[in-house]
Structure 1
Amino acid sequence: MNQAYPDLIYNGVMLCINIQLLLISVFYFYKRQLRLVILGALCFFIGAIFINNLYWNIVKESFFLSLLLGAGKNLFFGPLIYLYVSTAQTPKKRLKKHVLAHLTFPFIIHIAYLTIKFGYSSFYTQNYYWTVISLGYVLVAISLFYLVFGIIEFKKNKVKPLSPRVKRRYGYFMHVLLSYYFAINLYNILPYLTNSPFFAANFFTLNRYVFMPIGLLINTYLLLFSITEFFKFKSLFVPSRLYQKTDIDPAGMNELTIKLREHLIEGKLYTDPNLTISNLAKELRVDKSRLSHYFKEQETSFRKYLNSIRVSEFKTLLLSKEFENYNLTGLSTMVGFQSETTFFRVFKEIEGITPSEFQQKNSTGL
C-alpha cells in the first residue's frame, strides 16, 4: 500500500466510494448511450485512479494494471467533465466529431506516456522525474484549458439551451469538478515551479489534511450525481423538459413555413405513412426541437399539422374528376393514412362530418 495514504479509515471509505463509481461505470457502458458512456468513463477513470494511487507499488510494475487503472488516466478528467455537459447542448449530427475533437489530444499523450514507461523502461527510469513533471505540466494545461473554455462555452451556448434548473445542475457539476482537478494538478507541480522549502516540508501534510478530505467530498458528489443521472432517479432531480423554450423570430418562422410547404406539401412527404417529426426535421435540415417549437407557436402539434394537410389533400383528390372512380379508403391511403379507422376519426375531428357525408354533400352540390 502507498505510504502517502496512511489513514486506514479514509482509505476504506474512499475505496468503497470508488468501487461504487466503477460499478456505475460498467452499468453506463452497458446502456450504450453516448452521454452515459462519457459519464461512465469519467466514473471509471476517477475510481481507477484512486485504486492506482492506493496500490501504486503493485500497479506500477504491471503493464495491464497500469493500462487499466493508472498511467495518466487523469488526462481525461477535464475533457470528459466538459463533454458530459457539452453533449447535452450539441446537435446530434455533430456529436461524434465533437467527442473525438476533445479526446484525441489526451489519448495521444496517454499512449505516449505508456510507450515511454513500458516501451523504453530504462529511459523512463533514468528520466523518471522529468517524465512525471512533464506529465504534470500537461495536466495543469489541460485542466486550466477546460476550466476556462468549459465555463465560456457553457454560458454562451444557444444552439440547444438548457432549462434553468438543468443548467444550474450541470453548471455546478462542471465548475466544481474542473476547479478541483485544476487545483490538485497545480498543487502537485508547485514544489517544482516555486522551489519553495515550504512545499518541500509540508507537501504531504497539506495533501493529507486539505486535498484528501476535499477529494473525499468530490468523489462522493460525483457518486451522487452519477446515481441521480440514472433515469429512474433523474426525474427527482432533473425536470423532464431538458431544454428551455426558445423563441423563433418572424423571419425564422417564415423560413420554416416555406420549407414545410416545399418539402411536406409540394414534395409530398405527407404521403409517407411512417413520417415522423425526426424524419421531417432531417429533410428540412433543422433541429427537431426548433421544429417542435414552430408547431407550438402555431398552437398545434406535428401530428395535427400533418393530418390537416392529409385531409386537405384528400378533399382535393376526392373532388378531382381524375380520381372519381377511387373509393374513400383508396384515396386516404394515397395521402398517407395507414388505417381506415384513423382516417375516418381524423377527418371528422377536422371537418365535423364523416368522409361519406362530405362526399354526398359535394356530389349534391355538383
Structure 2
Amino acid sequence: MTDILLEYAHQGATSIRLDAIGFIWKESGTTCIHLPEAHSIIQLWHTIINAFQPNTQLITETNVPHKENISYFGNGFNEANMVYQFTLPPLVLFSFINHNAGKLTKWAKSIDKVSSEATFFNFLASHDGIGMRPTEGILNDEEKQQLVDQVKANGGEVSYKSNPDGSQSVYELNINYSQALVNNEEDVTLEDEIRKTIAAHSILFSVIGVPAIYYHSLLGSTNDVQGYKESGIPRRINREKLEYSQLKAELHKNGRRAEIFTRLKQLILLRQNESAFSPYAEQEIVELDDRVFSLIRKNNKTGEELFFAVNTSRKEVTVPLPFNGQDLVNDQVAEKTIKLPLYGFTWVKRR
C-alpha cells in the first residue's frame, strides 16, 4: 500500500483519497475499524509523503459519526491533511426540506479551524449515497425518517446496514442530491429546483474547508432510475453514464443542465478571488433566524472579512449585516440589512 501511495505521488497526484481507511487493519475478535494500527499507518504515510512530496494532501474517507471521523486528523494533526465532512450533506438537506437551519447552525458552531495545515473536505453529493451515520446524536429517529420519506417520495432508494443485534438501520440515502432537495408540494417549477440546488451549494462554498463538487451536481444531472433498475445497485441512481456529445449539446440547450452549470461556475469564479475563503481562514457562525444559515469568514493574514447568509425558506427574509460592504453575488453595495428572497443568499465583503 505504501508503494502504491508513493507511485501516485510520483506521478503527480496532489490529493490522494484513502477510501474507507478505518478498516485497513484487521484483527480477529475486534470490529476491525478505527484500530490503533490504522492510525499508525496513516501517521507513517503522512511522514513519508511530507518527506517525499511536501504539500500532497492525504484525505481520509470514513463514513462514521463526527467524533470518530475527525479522529483521523491525529494527535497533533499528524495524520490526514483533510477529513471528509460527512455530516454536512444530510444536515443541509434537512435544513432545506424543513426551511429551518437550526440543526445545521448548532452543529456548525462546533466546527472550528483545525490547524494551518489541516482542514475539512466538504461535499454534498458523491458517487455513493448521503451517509446517515454522521447524523447520530444530531437528528432523532423521527427526523431521520423524514429524510428517508423525502428521498423515497422523490424517486430515490435507501440502503440499510445490519446491526449486531440483528436489526437494521439506515446507512445511506441513494438519490441525486438536487432531487433530494425538492419539496414536491412547494417546489413546483424548474426554477424552484435550480434555485434550491444553487442555494445548497452556496453553503458548501462558504463553510470552512475545501469544497468538492460532484460532477453530476455540477452538470445538473437527475436520478438515473434506469441505471439502478438494470444493475439492482441503489448507488447507481447517482452514477449516470454520460455521452460527451449529448452532454455538450444539453449544456447549451437543456435548461436544467445549462442553468445549474452556469450558475455554479459563476459562484466558483467569485469564490476563488476571495482570500476569506481560504481553507484555513477563521469561521464564526452567526445566529440570526432559524430560516437562515449564516457565518463570517476572516483571513487574518490578509485582513479580508466576508459575511455569508442563505435563506432556506420560500419566504423573503431580511437579515441585519454585521458590517457594511459589497454584495458580491448581486454586485451592489450592502448596508445595515439585506433582503434574501426564497432560497436567496449573499456574500458581503467588508469594505
Shared fold (TM-score, shorter chain, > 0.5)? no
Say which structure is richer in helix: 1
In our comparison, the structure showing a higher alpha carbon Rg is: 1
Range into which the TM-score falls when normalised by the shorter chain: under 0.3
TM-score relative to the length of structure 1: 0.26
Say which structure is richer in strand: 2
